[in-house]
Amino acid sequence: MPEQTTASTKSTDHVDVLIVGAGISGIGVAYHLQQKQPAKSYAILEAREAIGGTWDLFRYPGIRSDSDLHTFGYSFRPWVEERTIADAPSILRYITETASDSGIADHVRFGVKVRSASWSSDEQRWTVEVEDIAGGHTCEMTCSWLFGATGYYSYDQGFTPKFDGVERFEGQIVHPQFWPEELDYAGKRVVVIGSGATAVTIIPAMAGEAEHVTMLQRTPTYIVAAPAANPIAALIKRWFGPERGHAIAREMYVRIGGLFYKFSRNHPERMKKLIRKGNLKALGEAFDVDKHLTPPYNPWDQRMCVVPDGDLFEAIRDGKASIVTDTIATFTESGLLLASGEELEADIIVTATGLQMLPFGGLKLSVDERAVSWPETFVYKGLMLTGVPNFGYVFGYTNASWTLRVDLIADHFCRILALMDEHGYGQCVAEAPEPGATVRPMLENFSSGYVQRTLDQFPRQGPGAPWELTMDYVRDRKQMLRGPVGDHLRFTAATGAPRRQPAVAVGA
């Protein structure tokens, strides 16, 4: 990896595009920018000291993707490892090698955090306040476009509900987002509070060394087993080579995932029966599938949990793990007292209780000295926000791999840049829908608690395209890659350039 650059050692104060975040989204956007707009200067600001975002932050046992890496990986870089559901070290290596091999790593400035950014329509640029975290001082950068590749949650705090009696517990309490490296759980009794993707990952990983691991859940989650390595995908890549094989396997997973999701939404009762049948087969008739693995909501009202090779089910069958469905009355000195009166003894309690969602990484923006209020904006193609000039972002899919949208957003963003250059535009702003139009939450029909807690802090959706964040990748791919660019965007000629009639929409 190249020598790290900080805000205090930067070589320029102005770039065409300033990307915030060096995770999987930021690296993906930068790659497309380099390939399709090579004349544009750019920098990536990263608050941490390493590339990778989520995959460098989380260190809990067993951390892995819950999506296949043919779709979670980039379209432009083949996933060559055998496992299609991969662990965090493999994913982190994939991201960092992508950044290093393409020269993107040279554009990353580490240990710096964007505190605020203000847009000036007169100057047609953002002025960005940047803090050098280690040094404690701030400086300013300017850019023509600001791009938030910040994810959707706070890196500084996870979510933990208020539990009665926490101070009484004499063991250790750990949140997965801040996993201590020295934690020794060998031979210990562990209770994991939660039933989401983090919990179902941690439990089988800890079960091999712990005395016993109990998943304590208030409400069940849909959990399905999937092969960690797909022999069909491996065969495709052998036949067609890494690049072509990756593209074919990616399309295969896109289509299968889309059919699975649509079947779940259109025929929820039939999907419930199929999932129940699979869980019964994995765990046997003696296990109470209806109590512990049958949620009160429909499939994909919340994200499903995938367990590679059924590792969670194996841990339960072997007696190394168990599931308890109940609510917590209080913590005790030795564990948890449940509402049913049952007591769970524990040496370690893991609060896998979710993330704290945070719009655009906590960015504070203003446009012509007026503060931007996220809930007063509408999404535009999942790429821009109405009324906020020259600002882009990525928010991935909830029903498919996050990275699928990264490629689409980055490509469409580059098309907008090309349009602006062609016509001499310096400012681009998405228009809001007509007054009185239907207003919807940004994540509609998604009932996960971590989403619902903070949904009112995020932008909204309008009555339809382009003011919506769709969850249909195949439809989005057609519209974003081959559909018009410039529709419902308002352009202003670049300062000092001859004024031309702004385009309404330009085709592919």
Q: Could you report the per-residue pLDDT of 118-153, keeping only the tens digit for each?
A: 999 999 999 999 999 988 889 999 999 999 999 988
With a cut of 60, say whether residue 157 has pLDDT above it.
Answer: yes
Range in 81-85, 182-186, 310-314, 500-504 with the lowest mean pLDDT:
500-504
In the chain, the amino acid numbered 220 is P
Q: Which two tokens stand for residue 17?
A: 């595009």
Q: What is the pLDDT of residue 140?
A: 94
Residue 424 has pLDDT above 50, yes or no: yes
Q: In CATH terms, are 7-155+357-474 and 160-353 the same topology?
A: yes
Task: Provide the token pair at 115.
Answer: 């505190």
* Three-class HEC string of 185-240: CCCCEEEEECCCHHHHHHHHHHHCCCCEEEEEECCCCCEEEECCCCHHHHHHHHHH
Average pLDDT over residues 404-424: 97
Please report, rounded to a whole number, the percentage of residues in the chain having pLDDT higher than 90.
85
CATH 3.50.50.60 fits 160-353, yes or no: yes
Q: What is the dihedral of CA 313, 317, 321, 322, to 10 degrees?
A: 90
| 144: helix, strand or coil | strand
Per-residue pLDDT reduced to its tens digit, 14-40:
999 999 999 999 999 999 999 999 999
Statement: residue 316 has pLDDT above 70: yes
Is the predicted pLDDT of residue 11 greater than 80, yes or no? no
Alpha-carbon distance of 67 to 92, in angstroms, equals: 15
Write b or e for each residue in 372-400: b if 16 or more Cβ atoms lie within 10 A of its Cβ, otherwise e.
Answer: bebeebbbbbbbbbbbbbbbbbbbbbbbb
- Percent of the chain that is helix, strand, coil (3-state, to 5): 35, 25, 40
pLDDT bin (cut points 50, 70, 90) of residue 80 is very high
Spell out the residues 6+ positions from residue 163 whose beta carbon is closer than 8 angstroms to its own: 328, 330, 331
CA distance to 59, 432, 443, per residue, from 439 (Å): 39, 11, 12
| Tens-place pLDDT, residues 372-385 | 999 999 999 999 99
Can you give the pTM of this predicted structure? 0.92
Of 503 and 304, more confident: 304
- Each residue of 243-280: pLDDT tens digit? 999 999 999 999 999 999 999 999 999 999 999 999 99
Homologous superfamily (CATH) for 7-155+357-474:
FAD/NAD(P)-binding domain (3.50.50.60)
Domain spans of the chain?
Answer: 7-155+357-474, 160-353
pLDDT of residue 453: 81
